[in-house]
């Protein structure tokens, strides 16, 4: 028997919510123990919220996110300063069921989660619903300032790393939104500010960047960070340099470092010299300015902090 498309779909039934797997998503908070103690006592907190892998097939997103996490929990002097001033909340994988199933863009239920930020369902989009509720909870907390939201993606046709931002009627807010991408362009040779764009595309209304850009106040900045699946160019050359896992993670480290530059401009972090790890003989600074001894993957700059520096929560 041959069914029309309409007859086929009308004959399908959805299982009850209790019969659906609900893997949940992990969110972590990275900060210093001293700042964590102050927060428990009701002190004000500045939060940077980062999400990744909402589209399962965009695997570079995970490597960039891993680079951010590895740097923030390292003993690098810049990472120490960032932890002393900021709380980083990171949800590395918004679509774990889609990743597990090997989907390219959709979740287990067949939804593109990055089009459902406006009204996510706890049944159909549980991870998105949980993260959104957490963000709204922080937004409504008078002692919490959600400074940044960055959603990490991978792009199949563009080269380099670049960002999408929002358009605001407030010209000053619009200009200030361009500061972080410009600073990142100075820190990361593979990041292109010329490919960065700011828009109000109606098709993207349900994305995290667009929804949160409209929800949060003028002190918050929301971006989509894109990175090429394939390659990047350096310094205006046309030669394509293929991305590697290490290159993706290096971009993540440079994203984390850029927060220090941003908050120095805003005078939240004092403009004092930050002691850098001493280089061993034969070692050279990386192009990004990171001092990493050649062949030494467990150097001071990348040695991880103790568990006391991490506060894990589940959304």
Q: Sketch the domain layout of the chain as residue ranges.
A: 24-314
HSE toward the beta carbon, residue 78, CA cutoff 13 A: 22
- What are the phi and psi torsion angles at 6 (to 5°)? -65, -40
- Bridge-based pairing of strands 45-52 and 144-155 is parallel
- Coil vs helix vs strand at 208: helix
- Bridge-based pairing of strands 241-242 and 231-232 is antiparallel
pTM: 0.81
Q: What are the residues whose beta carbons fall under 8 Å from the beta carbon of 228, sequence distance 6 or more?
A: 60, 154, 155, 158, 159, 160, 161, 243
Which pair of structure tokens corresponds to residue 85?
């001033």
- Bridge-based pairing of strands 221-228 and 310-314 is unpaired
As a whole number of angstroms, the longest Cα–Cα distance in the chain is 76
Is residue 65 within 8 Å of residue 90, measured between CB atoms? yes
Which pLDDT score is estimated for 74? Answer: 96
Question: Can 44 be counted among the known catalytic residues?
Answer: no
Is residue 85 within 8 Å of residue 34, measured between CB atoms? no
Which pLDDT score is estimated for 211? Answer: 93
Nearest to 95 by CA among 58, 45, 137: 58
Distance separating alpha carbons of residues 22 and 18, to the nearest angstrom: 9
Distance separating alpha carbons of residues 196 and 200, to the nearest angstrom: 14
* Catalytic residue of the set 58, 147, 189, 226: 226
Give the single-character DSSP code of 156. S
**Domain spanning 24-314: CATH 3.40.720.10:** no
Distance separating alpha carbons of residues 284 and 85, to the nearest angstrom: 29
Distance separating alpha carbons of residues 163 and 309, to the nearest angstrom: 30
Is residue 223 within 8 Å of residue 235, measured between CB atoms? no
Q: To 10 degrees, the CA torsion angle through 206, 211, 213, 216?
A: -170
Distances (CA, A) of 226 to 126, 164, 213: 24, 8, 17
Residue pLDDT tens, the chain, 315 long: 444 444 433 344 444 545 445 556 678 999 998 887 776 666 788 999 999 999 999 999 999 999 999 999 999 999 999 999 999 999 999 999 999 999 999 999 999 999 999 999 999 999 999 999 999 999 999 989 999 999 999 999 999 999 999 988 888 888 999 999 999 999 999 999 999 999 887 778 889 999 999 999 888 999 999 999 999 998 778 899 999 999 999 999 999 999 999 999 887 776 655 666 554 444 444 434 444 433 333 333 333 333 333 333 322
Is residue 46 within 8 Å of residue 86, measured between CB atoms? yes
Query: What stretches of the chain adopt beta strand conformation (E)?
Result: 26-30, 45-52, 87-91, 144-155, 161-166, 197-199, 221-228, 231-232, 241-242, 310-314
Give the single-character DSSP code of 289. S
Which pLDDT score is estimated for 7? Answer: 42
């Amino acid at each position: 028997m041959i069914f029309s498309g309409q007859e086929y779909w009308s004959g399908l039934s959805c299982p009850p919510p209790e019969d659906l797997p609900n893997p949940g998503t992990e969110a972590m908070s990275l900060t210093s123990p001293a700042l964590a103690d102050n927060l428990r006592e009701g002190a004000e907190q500045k939060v940077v919220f980062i999400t990744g892998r909402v589209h399962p097939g965009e695997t570079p997103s995970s490597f960039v996110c891993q680079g951010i996490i590895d740097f923030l929990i390292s003993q690098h002097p810049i990472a120490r300063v960032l932890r002393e001033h900021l709380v980083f909340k990171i949800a590395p994988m918004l679509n774990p069921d889609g990743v597990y199933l090997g989907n390219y863009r959709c979740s287990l239920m067949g939804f593109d989660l990055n089009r459902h930020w406006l009204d996510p369902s706890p049944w159909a989009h549980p991870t998105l619903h949980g993260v959104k509720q957490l963000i709204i909870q922080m937004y409504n907390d008078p002692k919490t300032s959600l400074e940044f939201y960055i959603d990490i993606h991978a792009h199949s046709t563009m080269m380099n790393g670049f960002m999408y931002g929002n358009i605001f009627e407030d010209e000053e807010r619009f200009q200030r939104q361009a500061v972080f991408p410009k600073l990142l362009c100075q820190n990361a040779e593979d990041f292109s500010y010329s490919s960065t764009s700011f828009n109000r595309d109606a098709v993207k209304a349900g994305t995290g960047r667009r929804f949160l850009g409209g929800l949060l106040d003028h002190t918050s900045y929301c971006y989509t960070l894109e990175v090429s699946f394939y390659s990047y160019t350096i310094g205006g050359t046309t030669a394509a340099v293929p991305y590697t896992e290490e290159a993706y993670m290096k971009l993540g480290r440079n994203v984390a470092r850029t927060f220090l530059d941003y908050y120095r401009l805003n005078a939240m972090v004092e403009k004092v010299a930050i002691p850098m790890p001493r280089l061993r003989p034969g070692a050279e600074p990386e192009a990004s300015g990171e001092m990493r001894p050649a062949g030494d993957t467990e150097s001071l700059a990348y040695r991880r902090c103790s568990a006391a520096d991490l506060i894990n929560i589940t959304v």
